Amino acid sequence: MAQALRQEDFDSVRVRDGAGLRFEVADEVARLGCTKALVLSTPQQCDLALEICEALGDAAAGVYSKAAMHTPVDVTEDVLSHLSLSGADCLVAVGGGSTVGLGKALAYRTGLPQITIPTTYAGSEATPILGQTENGVKTTLTDAKVLPSVILYDPELVATLPVGMTVTSGLNAMAHAAEALYAENRTPETTNLAIQGLKDLAQGMPKVVQAPDDLDARALTQRGAWACGTVLGRVGMALHHKLCHTLGGTFDLPHADTHAIILPHAIAYNARAVAEELAPITEVLGGENAGRALYDFGKSLGAPLALKSLGITEADLDHAADLAVQKPYPNPQPVTREDIRALLQSAWAGNVPAF
């Protein structure tokens, strides 16, 4: 059940940005009144976690480097035993959505403050939303307890993010803003935040693709990701996120890639009902149809376009469609099993959005 959130919950998050900021993590731990931090990462980013431990010095309580996609509950339960043995009184999550999710899951269970150092553009660090997977089913909850106490945006950490991951992670962030434009509980403030996030990412991502080590462009994309993540935490999502959670949790698909592929199809689907609300997308990206504009933008950056490239089979689509229409959820365009099956077919093949 979603917890009612207050503006002060968001205002209490300390957000800093700047090159080399990760080396100030020990100061942030002390500022929280804490003395020992357990550093979280995925196996692939263990070296970075060790670098953060070095920066923490005596405040390091060790590293847990088994964070995984979609925040499996069994991983969270495993790290809880490490946490109690480490003597840590706070958490430092360094990485993308997988590590951020683990930090949130631990904060939710323990109440420990967390410092988040993002290395992708997923934006989940800016939200009070936790998605967890158990027995192949992904569920979400909203609670102020999972908001980080501190977010440190260091463009040097995304400067080495491979171009392919940069693109899919950025499109994942843009998905939050796109659905925020037609959210039932949108406000002028959230709409402006969504548009700003779209603009920053649309301007920054092509520059990053051309020059991955351009720190100014990286900082611009980080600001866009923060705006998109912040708006995600303040309004409800609809069809796009439902489909991505269904596909990701059921078939263990890579999170950002799935968002990148589904986004133009879901937005084209909903544009039939809310073309006016989605107009900012074409104003930012060009074109006349929001879904097609996102498809062309992703294609121009070399984004993955087809679900079949992720290993899902055509035979899986019927099951995915069945799951996606369960448990009614708010969406501007009525959701039918037939239409969702057609949408998934188009996304599986990598076709131009059909709606």
**165 vs 167: CA distance, rounded Å:** 5
pTM equals 0.86
Q: Three-class SS of residue 116?
A: strand
- Token pair belonging to 217: 């462009």
**173 vs 225: CA distance, rounded Å:** 6
Check if the beta carbon of residue 246 is closer than 8 Å to that of residue 306: no
Q: CA angle at residue 102 from 96 to 92, to 5 degrees? A: 75
Q: pLDDT tens, 164-215?
A: 999 999 999 999 999 999 999 999 999 999 999 999 999 999 999 999 999 9
- Token pair belonging to 161: 């993010």
**30 vs 9: CA distance, rounded Å:** 21
Instruction: Report whether pLDDT(45) > 60.
Output: yes
Q: pLDDT tens, 268-294?
A: 999 999 999 999 999 999 999 999 999
- Token pair belonging to 152: 């440190």
Helix (H) or strand (E) holding 40: strand 37-40
**Ordered domains of the chain (ranges, CATH):** 7-158 (3.40.50.1970), 163-349 (1.20.1090.10)
Helix (H) or strand (E) holding 63: strand 60-64
Please state, as a whole number, how many other Cβ atoms lie within 10 Å of the Cβ of residue 279: 14
Angstrom distances, CA of residue 133 to CA of 121, 245, 279:
21, 10, 34
Check if the beta carbon of residue 38 is closer than 8 Å to that of residue 91: yes
The mean pLDDT of the chain is 93
Q: Confidence class of residue 233 from pLDDT cuts 50, 70 and 90?
A: confident
